[in-house]
Homo-oligomer: A and B are copies of this chain.
Amino acid sequence: MNSQSNQPKTLKELGEFGLINHLTINLKNKQSSTELGIGDDAAVIDYENRKTVITTDMLVEGVHFDMVFTPLKHLGYKAVVVNVSDIYAMNAQPRQITISLALSSKYTLEAIEELYAGFELAAEQYGVDIIGGDTTTSPNGLVISITAIGEAKEEQLVYRTGAKDKDLLVVSGDLGGAYMGLTLLQREKEVWKVNPNMQPDLDGNDYVLERQLKPEARKDVIQFLAQLGVKPTSMIDISDGLSSEIFHLCKESGVGCNLYEEKIPIDPTTHNVARSFDLDPTVCALSGGEDYELLFTISQNDYDKIKGNPHWTVIGHMRISFYLVVIILRNCKQQFVIFATT
């Protein structure tokens, strides 16, 4: 504790408290609701009679990310994004996060600083304060567990339960890109395992790689909905893939859905990469996941307000029909039941 040295230290020399102090010493709280951040048994926040919204996500090495092709700064950024995305999916504003890390001995201080730089960059981007966490050792690999706390006025909150018959189903951005980015990276990893001197062949695929490695949460969608005076009847973020998220909205709202394949927004790069792997781009969009776009339903009365937005696409409509989710295929006018719930 008496050391005045500025030399980099090892993790062992720093110890748990030293590491936490080292990583968090420059954090500045910006949210007025953050009364007390890191440094006591718990953080204190004050929302002045607004609703508190809480979500949590865990990322595990070897399951959610592969250190062979995931830069640590990107990983830190993404770990924050997946959490704030859930807050936006409630039509709420993220304000604070806590970050818990389990680190194996293979991680150096420099590596953890990179990871933390990603956390801080995302905290800056999304305007959240890092108010606490836990740092511990792990026998194997890295585990990141983040809890995000947000706020909203009661009348702003959007649940999964409010979709009604004839409501329009809208999605932001485009789908399937993150999955194609992952598929590319996994292919290059296999090539690299056979020949470590091989340079990765990723040219021209920046878009899908960024969708996988540095996704963004759709803060802008929430802001724009508010500006337009449109409150969705239900909303969810796309972490597991379009079909899974539609299923959640339908099940929780007690409705079915007609989904039009030709309307599903897919970027040309995603389309080309999918074809190069002999995959159906629609299937990639339906099942790929990790796009972190927002999927929401609106009343038909609000259609005029949103139709001019080039970044939002109406891809279907809700229906009363035994919770059936039906996709209307592009080429053959055939219908195909994706889900049926009871």
> Taking beta carbons and an 8 Å cutoff, which residues of A are in contact with B?
1-2, 35-36, 39-49, 51-58, 60-64, 86-87, 89-90, 92, 96, 98, 100-102, 131-134, 136-141, 143, 145, 147-150, 154, 157, 159-161, 235-237, 252, 341-342
Contacts and interface: CB of A to CB of B under 8 A. Distances in A.
Nearest to A341: B1
Contacts of A237: 41
Contact of A42 (B1, B47, B54, B58): B54
B342 A160 contact: no
A56 B141 contact: no
Contact of A41 (B49, B89, B102): B89
Contact of A60 (B55, B62, B63, B137): B137
Contacts of A148: 42
8 smallest beta-carbon distances between A and B, as pairs: A145-B145, A42-B55, A41-B89, A140-B140, A62-B139, A41-B86, A58-B100, A147-B147
A230 to B, nearest CB: 18
Nearest to A64: B136
Given A41-B86, A147-B98, A237-B41, A54 B131 contact: yes
B55 A51 contact: no
B145 A58 contact: yes
A96 B42 CA distance: 14
B60 A136 contact: yes
A219 to B, nearest CB: 14
B139 A58 contact: no
A273 to B, nearest CB: 26
A131 B46 CA distance: 20
Given A47-B47, A54-B132, A138-B63, A41 B150 contact: no
A53 B48 contact: no
A60 B102 contact: yes
A55 B36 contact: no
A145 B86 contact: no
B49 A139 contact: no
Contacts of A57: 100, 134
Given A47-B52, A52-B149, A58-B101, 7 more contacts: A1-B341, A40-B160, A42-B87, A54-B147, A56-B147, A60-B137, A60-B143
A124 B1 CA distance: 42
B63 A139 contact: yes
Contacts of A62: 139
Nearest to A159: B40
A101 B58 CA distance: 8
B42 A150 contact: yes
A139 B136 contact: no
